[in-house]
Amino acid sequence: MVRMLTVSPDRAGACPTITDALEIAPDDAVISIEPGVYAEALRLDGRRVRLVAAGEAGSVTVDGRATGRPTVACAGGEVLLQGLVLQSADHPAVDAAGGRLRMERCQVSAGYAAAVSVRDGARVEAVEVTVTGGQHGLVVSDAGGTIEQCEIRDVTDDGIIVRLGADPTIRNCTVSNAGFRGVYVYQAARPTIERCDVSGTGDAGIVVALQSSPTIVDCWVHDTRGVGIDVGRGCGGTIEGSHTEQTAAPGVRLAEGSTTVFRAAEAGGRPLAGVSGGGGTVGQDAQKVEELLAELDSMIGLAGVKAEVRSLIDEIQVNEWRRHAGLPVGAVSHHLIFTGAPGTGKTTVARVYGQLLKALGVLPNGQFREVSRRDLVGQYIGHTAEKTSSVFTEALGGVLFIDEAYTLSRAGGAGGDFGQEAIDTLVKLMEDHRDQVAVIVAGYTTEMAAFLDANSGLASRFAKTLEFENYSPVQLVDIVGRIARNDEYLLADGLADGLLEWFGQIERDQNFGNAREARKLLEGMRKAQSGRLRALGRMPSRDDLRTLVLDDLLVATR
């Protein structure tokens, strides 16, 4: 289990500083930092650790300006920085050498140094990072990774530097008001610069030099004192669909001796570029969306659920179109309530929903984390909040599926007060991270109504309730047939009619297992077939081994 440590100078039992927490944190720990200003410089060499703002993004400031060192330095290891404000003076605010660094919704500034430096083989993932000052904004040297929806503004020299063979993907980023160049690519670097907005530079917008070969796609370079895109001798790569406007002439300059392939942008306006232009469309996979919707449609029954999921997906897509058109888009919750009896496909639909959100670019990974009461509720006051926060943090970027969620309410199970603590913690986390995770709570219809009453703000966190109805006898027969076919079994003549009669007469109370009952019955029929074939007195044929008959059903239901 991931351990969570809390940093707060005021809370009893918490670590007073981030440094104190790091001294006792094991690998893979989550350090949750309460709002405030922490005058520290953090050294994270070889560490696997996550530093997360406990409140809203921007509520925690780590100020290393007086230390004479980088505010956060990591060599090797795996580090996550989430929701932090990082400040430094004449050293980088973040300096990563080797290892893996992920930054989410951070604000970074420096004095006469790079705000963020990534080097020596490091891999960086930066999402919604804002750089508001420094000699350079972001420097990537002999390193790679992905930089998405980031904003670099008001730096003294170059906004982004990519050098020494570095090959990051820089997508939907905005670089504005850099004192020298917006993006400088040199020393055999090979970045992909896609849908970026570069403006207000003291010199050229994008400069390529010294044997570099970038791929520059659908960028908008405008209002620069120098040329829009300047490619030097001996450089290669591709410039495609990019638009320059209000720059020094020419808009795109290719030096003699360069081998860059240039395909001019089509007439009719600039491409959608930068943080505001790209929005949530980053990484959308239309083909994958259709494949997942087809997978959903192939499930037996659930007509109402399928329609509701499609309406949610349609709403997300239309919101993206509105954003592209410059129209306002309201906040949308991706949290859902699934109600219904067991075995009606709630877990399967939740998995598909997470993958759909990933394919639409709403969630970065779509991973599925299924938990129950025992994973969230601790054994003493304070332990529950820690366990719940830890589980929630692990699920960020994907789906957190809480089965039998009603057992957390005071009306369900022993130790209800600890369950209430889990609910109260979830309510706050769901609001603070509503754009980073989809929480799905599931359970019986009546009991889930009581669960929603356990906290006054709980019901408002969810976008919609999806009701999963019991399968009909015909649908249960279809489920048995599908499972059998997947396992290379055939149903003999008359067996389907027998199954229909059986499912039509069994009691269907709230404990009826639906598809679980179908699978359980099929397992019983397989066992009956095994006994029947053993009694043949001969080696069964291939057809014998594959075929289930009516007698197998009679034995299984006896």
pLDDT in tens, the chain (558 residues): 567 899 999 988 899 999 999 999 999 899 999 999 999 999 999 999 999 998 888 999 999 999 999 999 999 999 999 999 999 999 999 999 999 999 999 999 999 999 999 999 999 999 999 999 999 999 999 999 999 999 999 999 999 999 999 999 999 999 999 999 999 999 999 999 999 999 999 999 999 999 999 999 999 999 999 999 999 999 999 999 999 999 999 999 999 999 999 988 766 566 778 786 544 444 567 788 888 999 998 899 889 999 999 988 888 888 777 766 666 666 677 899 999 888 888 999 999 999 898 888 788 777 888 998 888 888 777 788 888 888 888 888 889 999 988 888 854 444 446 888 888 888 888 877 777 889 999 988 888 888 888 888 888 888 889 999 888 899 999 999 999 988 899 999 899 999 998 888 887 766 677 888 888 899 999 999 999 999 988 999 999 899 999 999 999 888
Tell me the C-alpha distance between 347 and 345, whole Å. 6
Instruction: Note whether 302 and 349 are within 8 A (CB).
Output: yes
User: 85 - beta bridge partners?
Assistant: 61, 107
CA end-to-end span of the chain: 45
Topology of domain 473-556 in CATH is Helicase, Ruva Protein; domain 3 (1.10.8)
DSSP element (H, E) containing 311: helix 303-324
CATH 2.160.20.10 in the chain: give the residue spans: 1-134
Query: Are the CB atoms for 224 and 211 separated by under 8 Å?
Result: no
Q: Which residues of 240-251 are buried (b: 16+ CB within 10 A; e: fewer)?
A: bbbbbeebbeeb
Q: Where in the chain is the domain with CATH 3.40.50.300?
A: 283-468
**What residues have CB less than 8 Å from 131, skipping those under 6 apart?**
108, 109, 115, 116, 137, 138, 150, 151, 152, 153, 155
Q: Count Cβ atoms below 10 Å from residue 539 Cβ, excluding itself.
A: 8
The values of phi and psi at residue 13, to 5°, are 90, -10
Span(s) in the chain for CATH 1.10.8.60: 473-556
Phi-psi region of 137 (alpha: psi -120 to 50; beta: other; left: phi over 0): alpha
Instruction: Return d(Cα 53, Cα 107) in angstroms, integer.
Output: 12
Q: Which two tokens stand for residue 144?
A: 């790679």
Q: What is the pTM of this model?
A: 0.59
Q: What is the CATH number of domain 1-134?
A: 2.160.20.10
Q: Are 164 and 189 in contact (CB under 8 A)?
A: yes
Omega of the bond prior to 35 within 30 degrees of 0, cis? no
Helices 515-534/473-486 angle, 10° precision: 50
Q: How far is CA 265 from CA 20, 131, 221, 539, in A?
A: 54, 29, 12, 72
Decide if domain 283-468 falls under CATH 1.10.300.10.
no
Return the sign of the alpha-carbon dihedral for residues 118, 166, 201, 57: negative
Q: Give residue for tokens 């090959």.
A: 167
